[in-house]
Structure 1
Amino acid sequence: MRKQKGFSLIELLIVVGIIGALTAIAVPAYQDYTKKADATAGIATMKSLLVNIDAFAQNGVFPEDTDWADLGGKADMLTLGGMELAQVITGEGDEAFVSGGTLTLTFNPTSSLDTKTIIYTKSNTGWACTHTTGLEDLKGCVAP
């Protein structure tokens, strides 16, 4: 009699079950990893602009929204989402001055952080970062 070689149907089903269980564990972990990677890239991009925004603010103005090149930004920096820059003006007329502002990144709907935001807010004490990403451990940026 010949000795059979190969796997039985039961053995193959067990292997498929093990692979399915590993996939069920790995997919959510990977999704969290991509969200954190996108958020970290967004924060790094925004931080690179903050120094140049401060230079404008020291002269009493915030740059216009479309002046990303003047701030040292590159065209591909907006691949994560759209950025918006807004200034806060205190006082009126000749006594008006820029007292703060915000830099907001809204992630693209196609990214892992579908339309979530990271916001840097300027005050007289510096920049503060908040986010709506749902992530708990973004270094230097807190959830509201």
Structure 2
Amino acid sequence: MTRKQSGFTLIELMIVVAIIGILAAIAIPQYQNYVARSEAASALATIRSVQTDAEDIMVRGLEPKVEEAAAATERDLGIAADASSSGTISVANYTAAGVLDIVFTFNATGVSPQVQSTTITLSRDTDGVWSCATTIDQDFAPGDCTGA
């Protein structure tokens, strides 16, 4: 009487587990890199959303502010400093000549390790030209931002 084989052998199961382990070893770091790039792109999109408002406020001869405007010469950009759970938004280096920096600073925790405590800065020069700079590693930075 011959016995029919049913199920998998131990070696077959070990091969499947090894293949899954190799795939996971490759996929998890790639996924983490993807998350870091998407967090950086989201931060840039957040500050770009107020770029037009900042330009309009400056054309009117007023100072853009992230928090409530305290003086008659200041106007609120319409975004809270904590509008993103990934970090904070601030305005820096404003001058009456038209220079302005809108800065997104990532939190020290709660975001990908590749972007923790880094910044993305959207800058306007006196000619009205906007540029983007970042302290994020270029592997994770948005495409149109230059590294510091």
TM-score by length of 2: 0.81
Q: Specify the alignment match of 1:138 in structure 2.
A: 142
Correspondent of 1:124 among 109, 115, 126: 126
* Structure-2 change in CA distance of 1:6 and 1:76 (3 Å): farther
Partner residue, 2:72: none
Matches within 5 A, 1:42-61: 42-61=43-62
Identity level (%): 34
Report the equivalent of 1:93.
none
The residue that corresponds to 1:100 in the other structure is 99
Structure in which a larger fraction of residues adopt helix: 1
CA contact (8 A) 1:65 1:86 kept: no
Provide the rounded CA distance (Å) in 2 between the counterparts of 1:75 and 1:104.
10
- The 3 A distance-change label for structure 1 pair 59 and 87 is farther
Match of 2:94? 88
Structure 2: gaps spanning 5 or more residues? 70-74
Structure 1 residue 76, shift from structure 2 partner: 7.1
Structure 1 stretch displaced more, 129-138 or 101-110 = 129-138
Matches within 5 A, 1:2-17: 2-17=3-18
Give CA-to-partner distance per residue, 1:68-123, whole Å, 9 cap, x none.
Answer: 9942336873222111112333xxxxxxx343121110112211121221011111
Amino acid at match of 1:124: T
Structure 1 residue 61: Cα displacement: 2.8
- Counting only pairs closer than 5 Å after superposition, residues 12-23 of structure 1 correspond to structure 2 as 12-23=13-24
Unaligned runs of 5+ residues in structure 1 are: 90-96
- 1:73-84 alignment runs, 5 A limit: 73=79, 77-84=83-90
The separation in 1 between residues aligned to 2:6 and 2:118, in whole angstroms, is: 55
The letter for the 1-side match of 2:48 is: K
**Which ranges of 4 or more aligned residues in structure 1 deviate by more than 4 Å?**
none
Report the RMSD for the aligned CA atoms in angstroms. Answer: 2.3
